[in-house]
């Protein structure tokens, strides 16, 4: 029997996009499946990653155009015709490396065997109508700020309206633009395994292009290229892939050698490893998470980074009565589950999974977690409460309510960042001190 040919990258993309719509599966999981089940070349892998992430990010924009260039009732959002049109329009608008005639040809090939003759004719006609428009796209007028920003930058309108009211329209647009940019790659030298000079020598041998991050001797911005996880320097734990915004809560916590520190929402482990480094792997460091699957990743990270003194436990902070010594921790890091509005460029489908009610639910969960952690800190100790959210309900309002209800705590420091500031993601962090 002849060997069965592997589906090409565009075929895999169309299938993956349909699964994303129909099965509520995460984009990151789909990409991982494709990587494991295919042997695409480097350029094809890059095309798959850029296109899958890009189509999902730009879904609202693409669907807006499909609906307005349609000569008939638009196709189902879960059908193949819609996915082929999304993919094709994304390549025509956002990737200038693929000529229009190639996009049209590929759309026809993708439609054959997946759609009816009528749908194939419809797909071809819509794409040709789009090309005849020559960039004159029927977007909402700029005077309608919320609708315009929502459609042009493909963010849910409720979220755009919210940012416009809370932060002003200029800042709202900056946040939307940042949410559609490919995220930068930052690498932190793990000083438990390697000196900065040794790591750079290893990178020189491995061909890793990078540039230093101002104000940080141990952090570099990596130029996209080869897969970092396959490098010996990564496998041996000399560095971690870690956005610079994730370092700030740990810096605010100021863990020191010999202290008792708990990281109660620790997976996947990057912050835990950074705490261990600051403690010089001396003292007591508890890293916990309630999800077994996430604990596995946490263990892998801690082991690879050589943080031998870390105690890893499965703990649901909202249900656990005791967590290794109530009232005994010098410091607690509480990096809570949140809406992810500060990291939309990394979690490409998060914008389509959240609503306002989720903000309120997550804010209440954050308040409950903070209250649960508060009883586990010794007098004079501190908690750092942090999120990767931009929303006041999940951030400052949780802290203010906590302070009002807990006179034994005071707010000592508070900071935040927007996506793209200094290259990092959006975040919030506050240090709370328990009175002696």
Domain for residue 139, yes or no?
A: no
Q: Is 9 left (phi over 0), alpha (psi -120 to 50) or beta?
A: alpha
Tally of CB atoms within 10 A around 294? 16
Q: In this predicted structure, which of 42-46, 144-148, 255-259, 398-402 has the lowest mean pLDDT?
A: 42-46
Identify whether residues 151 and 185 lie together within a single domain: no
**CATH number, domain at 372?**
3.40.50.150
Domain for residue 138, yes or no?
A: no
Domain for residue 109, yes or no?
A: yes
Q: Check pLDDT > 90 for residue 129.
A: yes
E strands along 290-403, which residues?
310-314, 329-335, 377-387
**CATH number, domain at 236?**
3.30.70.1170
Identify whether residues 344 and 405 lie together within a single domain: yes
Domain for residue 26, yes or no?
A: yes
Domain for residue 3, yes or no?
A: no
Handedness of CA 300, 304, 305, 306 (dihedral sign): positive
Confidence (pLDDT) at 326:
59
Give the model confidence (pLDDT) of 142-180 as tens digits.
999 999 999 999 999 999 999 999 999 999 999 999 999
Q: Check pLDDT > 50 for residue 389.
A: yes
Q: Check pLDDT > 60 for residue 71.
A: yes
Cα 237 to Cα 217: distance, rounded to the nearest angstrom: 18
Burial class for 211, CB neighbours closer than 10 Å (0-12, 13-18, 19+) = exposed
Confidence (pLDDT) at 68:
95
Identify whether residues 86 and 111 lie together within a single domain: yes
Local confidence band at 325 (pLDDT 50, 70, 90 cut-offs): very low
* Segment 257-282 mean pLDDT: 96
Confidence (pLDDT) at 293:
87
Q: What are phi and psi of 82, to 5 degrees?
A: -65, -40
Domain for residue 140, yes or no?
A: no
305: annotated active-site residue: no
Give the model confidence (pLDDT) of 5-54 as tens digits.
567 999 999 999 999 999 989 999 999 999 888 888 888 888 999 999 99
Name the percent of the chain lying above pLDDT 90. Answer: 84
Give the model confidence (pLDDT) of 335-379 as tens digits.
999 999 999 999 999 999 999 999 999 999 999 999 999 999 999
Domain housing 158: 145-179
HSE toward the beta carbon, residue 122, CA cutoff 13 A: 19
* Segment 73-102 mean pLDDT: 94
* Segment 230-239 mean pLDDT: 95
141, 165 contact by CB (below 8 A): no
Identify whether residues 228 and 249 lie together within a single domain: no
Q: Which residue has the tokens 């489908």?
A: 349
What average pLDDT does the structure give for the chain? 93
Tally of CB atoms within 10 A around 128? 12
Q: Check pLDDT > 70 for residue 294.
A: yes
Domain for residue 137, yes or no?
A: no
Identify whether residues 326 and 299 lie together within a single domain: yes
Q: Number of folded domains in the chain?
A: 4
Confidence (pLDDT) at 324:
44
Identify whether residues 257 and 369 lie together within a single domain: yes
Q: Check pLDDT > 50 for residue 323.
A: no
Specify the DSSP element, H or E, that contains 362: helix 356-374
Identify whether residues 228 and 256 lie together within a single domain: no
Cα 400 to Cα 6: distance, rounded to the nearest angstrom: 56
Tally of CB atoms within 10 A around 6? 12
Identify whether residues 230 and 250 lie together within a single domain: no
Confidence (pLDDT) at 3:
43
* Segment 401-413 mean pLDDT: 97
CA distances from 182 to 90, 243, 367 (A): 15, 13, 32
Domain for residue 2, yes or no?
A: no
Burial class for 280, CB neighbours closer than 10 Å (0-12, 13-18, 19+) = middle
Identify whether residues 236 and 251 lie together within a single domain: no
**CATH number, domain at 88?**
1.10.940.10
Active site residue: 176, 189, 265, 388, which one? Answer: 388
Q: Which residues pair with 413 in a beta bridge?
A: 431
Identify whether residues 56 and 114 lie together within a single domain: yes
Give the model confidence (pLDDT) of 188-233 as tens digits.
999 999 999 999 999 999 999 999 999 999 999 998 766 888 899 9
Identify whether residues 237 and 222 lie together within a single domain: yes
Identify whether residues 170 and 22 lie together within a single domain: no
192, 306 contact by CB (below 8 A): yes
């Amino acid at each position: 029997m002849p060997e069965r040919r592997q589906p090409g990258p565009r075929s895999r993309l169309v299938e993956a996009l349909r699964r994303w719509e129909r099965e509520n599966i995460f984009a990151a999981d789909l990409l991982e499946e494709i990587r494991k089940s295919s042997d695409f070349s480097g350029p094809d892998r890059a095309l798959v990653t850029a296109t899958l992430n890009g189509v999902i990010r730009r879904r609202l924009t693409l669907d807006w155009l499909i609906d307005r260039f349609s000569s008939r009732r638009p196709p189902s959002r879960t059908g193949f015709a819609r996915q082929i049109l999304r993919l094709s329009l994304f390549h025509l608008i956002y990737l200038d490396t693929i000529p229009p005639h190639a996009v049209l040809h590929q759309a026809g090939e993708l439609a054959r065997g997946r759609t009816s003759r009528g749908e194939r004719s419809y797909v071809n006609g819509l794409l040709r109508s789009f090309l005849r428009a020559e960039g004159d796209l029927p977007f909402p007028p700029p005077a309608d700020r919320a609708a315009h920003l929502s459609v042009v930058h493909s963010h849910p309108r409720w979220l755009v309206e919210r940012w416009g009211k809370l932060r002003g329209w200029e800042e709202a647009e900056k946040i939307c633009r940042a949410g559609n940019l490919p995220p930068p790659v930052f690498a932190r030298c793990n000083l438990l395994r390697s000196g900065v000079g040794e790591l750079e020598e290893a990178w020189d041998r491995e061909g890793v292009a990078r540039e230093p991050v101002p104000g940080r001797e141990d952090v570099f911005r990596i130029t996209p290229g080869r897969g970092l996880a396959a490098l010996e320097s990564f496998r041996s734990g000399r560095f971690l892939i870690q956005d610079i915004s994730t370092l700030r809560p740990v810096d605010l916590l100021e863990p020191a050698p010999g202290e008792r520190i708990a990281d109660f929402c620790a997976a996947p482990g990057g912050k835990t490893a950074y705490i261990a480094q600051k403690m010089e792997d001396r003292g007591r460091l508890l890293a916990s998470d309630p999800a077994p699957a996430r604990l596995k990743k946490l263990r892998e990270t801690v082991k690879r980074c050589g943080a031998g003194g870390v105690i890893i436990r499965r703990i649901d902070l909202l249900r656990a009565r005791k967590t290794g010594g109530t009232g005994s921790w010098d410091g607690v890091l509480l990096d809570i589950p949140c809406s992810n509005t500060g990291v939309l460029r990394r979690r490409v489908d998060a914008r389509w999974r959240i609503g306002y009610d989720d903000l309120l639910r997550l804010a209440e969960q954050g308040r409950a977690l903070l209250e649960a952690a508060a009883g586990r800190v010794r007098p004079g100790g501190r908690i750092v409460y942090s999120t990767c959210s931009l929303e006041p309900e999940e951030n400052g309002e949780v802290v203010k309510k906590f302070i009002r209800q807990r006179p034994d705590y005071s707010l000592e420091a508070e900071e935040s960042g927007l996506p793209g500031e200094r290259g990092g993601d959006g975040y919030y962090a506050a240090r709370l001190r328990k009175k002696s």
